[in-house]
Structure 1
Amino acid sequence: MSTSRIAARACALFAATGAAVLLGTGVASAHVTAKVIGEPAVQGGYTKITFRVPNEDATAGTTKLEVSFPADHPIASLRTTPIPGWTAAVVKGKLAKPITSHGAEITEAVSTITWTAAPGTRIAPGEFLEFAVSGGAMPETDQLVLPATQTYENGKVVKWDAPPVAEGAEEPEHPAPVIKLSKEGADDHGAATAPAAQTSNDKPAAAAPAAASSDSTARWLGGAGLVVGALGLGLGAGATLRARKAVAASKAGR
């Protein structure tokens, strides 16, 4: 086999290895996001929203996060969770048109919440932090867009404010955090209505183990992708070394 063909195969193997690693582990999306963990968020109800903030700068830490809440879909009250080293400021604004929530007239709503790190505190490179708020009532809309501004200790400011795009469209570089709001399953406090208890003869109860099995399968596939990637790197390096030796032997025989 010619040295050029050996080198070409080595390059192809390296390319395939890179693809295997990406497919096995997934491409990380380090965006500021909003999640409702646990019970679903219900229109007219109360819920907990968690903002997950990853640090995307390789050399500077995140020291401030500001989240804006829309005036056209107002939330009357939100409370923050204490985080050591961080202070939270909830700012309310007057509504142009008062709303009625659970029989009470609401004239002001939350406009922004700002978390600021104390000196010596930050979200370091390679780390993330979660900021949680709880309250309501949630507005009557299918989704709530919550633009966020992330500030770094070196002065860099990143605005996560691009509106949602249609399904299948290319995601913007800095999408705004979004949560979905449901119309179904709410009780007087906005929590999801618990499903009726399953009897021993009810088959739907097997759904939970199935979900756990799916999660285990996904983790196994991710681990397998890493192993395949590592093996590919080893084979690629070996092929390159053999190619170099072949070239050296060819030159020595001339």
Structure 2
Amino acid sequence: MTDRSKQLADNLARVEERIASACSAAGRSRDEVTLIVVTKTYPASDVRILHGLGVRQVAENRDQDAAPKAADCSDLSLTWHFVGQLQTNKVRSVTRYADVVQSIDRVKLVSALSTAVAGERESELGCLVQVALDAGNGERGERGGVAPEDVEALAAAVAAAPGLRLDGLMTVAPLAGPYAGRQRAAFERLMEISSRLRRDHPAANMVSAGMSSDLEDAVAAGATHVRVGTAVLGVRPRLG
């Protein structure tokens, strides 16, 4: 085992212990929570190591980094999540490798994805509506996403779009507004919105929340997926 392989194995084991402990504390089964490793800024070689360690779900937030990395790892059985703010001019590229786009925050993006999917793939593209808990009605959040009041309309647009599949909701703990510094409360609010959404869309039961610093709060609130990068891969290098 190389030094990097050992480092990633040790980090992954620690994260697994954290998730298992959080599940136990919340009275949940460990298999109720899926770990997505956020591999942004790290090379395809790390993705290969992670795959060898059992990781099957990875995430990226920049198409210019993700597209070549996904191509390099096309021989691996991986589910790729796109979690960054997505511009419509990148949509066609993203639909070639992403299995799930977690950052749906406007109808224009829904339309662009639906059109691109028709020309690029046969399988449906999973979509999560990104909820911005720092945004007011009709606004977008500082880190992307739509206000809670706008979730149902956007979700309906996803559900009606050919080639797209409404899988659920995603959020990032906000840095401003009433939930700033209150991760547990933020994730509990997301679960409330998810419960309301599932009345009309029962299959949209994925709730993606929590990162390296707050995954325990997300698990306690009921998240089904946590997105962990730094705790597995280390402190990220500066982007050029």
**TM-score, structure 1 normalization:** 0.22
Higher relative contact order (CA 8 A, sep 6+): 1
Which structure: greater strand fraction? 1
Structure richer in helix, relative to its length: 2
TM-score normalised by structure 2 residue count: 0.23
